[in-house]
Amino acid sequence: MLTLLAQPLSALSASGPSSTAATPASVSPMAAAATAGDWRSALRLLEDEEDPSEASFSTAVFACGRAGRWREALDLLGSMRGAGLKPSSNVYTSAITACGRGGQWERAVGMLDELRRAGVRPSVDSFNAAIGAAARAGEGKRSLALLTRMGDLDLEADEISYNLALAACRRAGLGGRAAALLEQMDAAGLAPGDEALTNAIAACAVSAIDAPLAPPLWERLRLQAAAGGSGSGSGDGGVGSGGGAGRPSGRAYRAALAAAARAAEGSVDGASGRADALRWAEELLAEMKDAASGEAAEAVAAAAPSSAAAGPDQVAFSFVARAAGGAGQWARALQLLEEMGAAPVSLAAPFVRPAATDGDGDGDASSDAAAAVDAAASEASPEEDLPEEAPSASAAVAAAASAAPRLVAARAALAACGRAGEWRRAVATLAALEVEVGAGSCAPLDASVYGAAIDACRMGAEGVGAGRGGGGGGGGGAEVEEEEEAEEEEAEAAVEAAVACLRGMAAKGVAADVGCYNSALAACHGAARWSDVHALLFEMRGNGVTAPATLRPFHKVLLPPHHPHRLPAFTPPFGCSYLSQ
């Protein structure tokens, strides 16, 4: 199965210009140009014809559709009408495809109404092209509405229709709807292929509520792959291709790992659910390692670098580290952070989104970014889509689709250390990462990594403070005093470490964001270090780090009334979770 927009195009190649009954000999070079995506040559050949036929126009529009040249495609439709020719459903489908590939999803969907006004009955391919256009733009609900509209027009959705709708669910994070679509496919006698199941699992990875739907879908995909799979792939290691030796593809494994990470980070079943999610993630990682062992696996990996036989990459490790952090297993998260250093940065993106041309460039603007830099690099095929970056829909995987998956694992491990009170380990891990950055073996650290370390120190200081006041458990007064003094020193050391991490960012050329300042301010506030609070607030204002005025002024919370360092009215940074305490 080809990818998002290649699917309707492949359908057109079978039922579009090439199937025209009376095709002039002069059209053959144009058809070859259209198939090759050479829209300029196709238009030149059309201009050379004294009296272009409907087949010639159809082929030219098809060429523009492949290249995403939506303006040219719409101009050709107008030229056809001007020449007294009535565009067929296939021609409209090519124009819809051009709009979709050119980022004009609203025009693409609107052309379905244009077909009706022109007295042309839209085909399944026409709807598929429109569904794909909406899915590319992240309009998941619109894509699903179009699928419903097909039924209202007595058009029977095919496998391509459902795969496109499932891709839309993946982008929009509609895990429940994706599971329902699989049931509809079963009811329609359309066995969901590997791509359909992978998209459904990916859709479930966005929400902690939908994440529990992923394990049974994964089991179905695994049994299907063991039995030989179904559907056609998009190339070695693609969404729908197998991972070798009767296993799901590497991308399918990463989709399942994303669902496991999401479940561990926010399981609705509490601690037991997070532990189960971590166990599943560990099993998936072990399977990927097992798939990469042996001479046969080496041969498969050489032919398909993004298959499961190539073993886990850093994206896969980052998901397992997130799962470990979510389950409170800070030691395991740190172990994974160290282990993933020997893994390749990325083999393929766990999820993809289509590219769009700006209307002035040539063809599809899909990215071929180097895998060592971009953990979500596109596949080698020019028809492949770009990595997923949708704002809300990709929340479950946005971090692992970033340029440095190891930083994702670092954030998860540091946060887990903080929640466990292991702030010293968090600081030591940050220092070790800085050494690796200096040696060129790790991507430069960003504000989120430093923020996780600072917050770990904050939690360490607050955790020590929360343990005070409970007495010495019946011990003598001197012992209680010594214990309290040790706790105070530990809390003070944690606050000092938080401020030191914040200052270390500037030395490394990393600008502190709101989260970094929030954690440092909270640590200083808890220790009643009002001078530091005062300095940090003015530093934030000087650096332009402010927030909506709807939040309560920070100084009213952090400084007691009549304090000599009490600030004038000041807008607090955004996202201060402790303002309401």
Summarize pLDDT for 472-522 with one digit per residue, the tens.
455 557 777 778 888 889 999 999 999 999 999 989 999 998 889 989 998
Going by C-beta distance under 8 Å and a sequence separation of 6 or more, which residues neighbour residue 443?
Answer: 403, 404, 406, 407, 437
Confidence of residue 452 (pLDDT cuts 50, 70, 90): very high
Residue 268 has phi, psi (to 5 degrees) of -75, -10
Calculate the dihedral angle through the C-alpha atoms of 438, 443, 449, 453, rounding to the nearest 10 degrees. -30
Q: Please state, rounded to an integer, the average pLDDT across all residues of the chain.
A: 76
Confidence of residue 34 (pLDDT cuts 50, 70, 90): confident
What residues are paired with 386 via a beta bridge?
353
Q: Dump pLDDT digits (tens) for 110-139.
A: 999 998 898 899 999 999 999 999 998 889
Q: Could you give the residue ranges of the DSSP H alpha helices within 420-560?
A: 423-439, 447-466, 477-507, 514-526, 530-542, 554-558
Tell me the average pLDDT across 351-362. Answer: 35
Q: Dump pLDDT digits (tens) for 78-100.
A: 888 888 888 999 999 999 999 99
Q: Which residue in this structure is represented by tokens 């041969």?
A: 299
- pLDDT exceeds cutoff 50 at 430: yes
Tell me the average pLDDT across 165-180. Answer: 93
DSSP helix/strand/coil, 387: strand
Going by C-beta distance under 8 Å and a sequence separation of 6 or more, which residues neighbour residue 342?
Answer: none
**Does residue 8 lie in a domain region?**
no
* Angle at alpha carbon of residue 455, lines to 450 and 461, rounded to 5°: 135
Q: In this predicted structure, what is the pLDDT of residue 505?
A: 92
**Does residue 228 lie in a domain region?**
no
Q: If 0-12 CB within 10 Å is exposed, 13-18 middle and 19+ buried, where does residue 437 land?
A: middle
- pLDDT exceeds cutoff 60 at 61: yes
**Does residue 61 lie in a domain region?**
no
- For every residue of 226-288, DSSP letters joined together read HTT--S--SSTT-SSS--BTTB--HHHHHHHHHHHHHHHHH-TTHHHHHHHHHHHHHHHHHHH
Confidence of residue 425 (pLDDT cuts 50, 70, 90): very high
Q: In this predicted structure, what is the pLDDT of residue 42?
A: 80
**Does residue 477 lie in a domain region?**
no
Q: Which domain range does residue 327 map to?
A: 249-360+372-378+399-411
Q: Dump pLDDT digits (tens) for 312-351.
A: 888 999 999 999 999 999 999 999 999 988 888 765 444 3
> Nearest to residue 465, comparing CAs of 528, 371, 372?
528
**Does residue 150 lie in a domain region?**
no
**Does residue 348 lie in a domain region?**
yes
Q: In this predicted structure, what is the pLDDT of residue 158?
A: 93
**Does residue 497 lie in a domain region?**
no
Q: Dump pLDDT digits (tens) for 293-313.
A: 764 455 545 545 555 556 788
Going by C-beta distance under 8 Å and a sequence separation of 6 or more, which residues neighbour residue 121?
Answer: 89, 115
- pLDDT exceeds cutoff 90 at 28: no
Q: Which residue has the higher pLDDT, 549 or 32?
A: 32
**Does residue 12 lie in a domain region?**
no
Tell me the average pLDDT across 542-555. Answer: 58
Tell me the average pLDDT across 156-168. Answer: 94
CA distance 249 to 25: 44
Domain count, the chain: 1
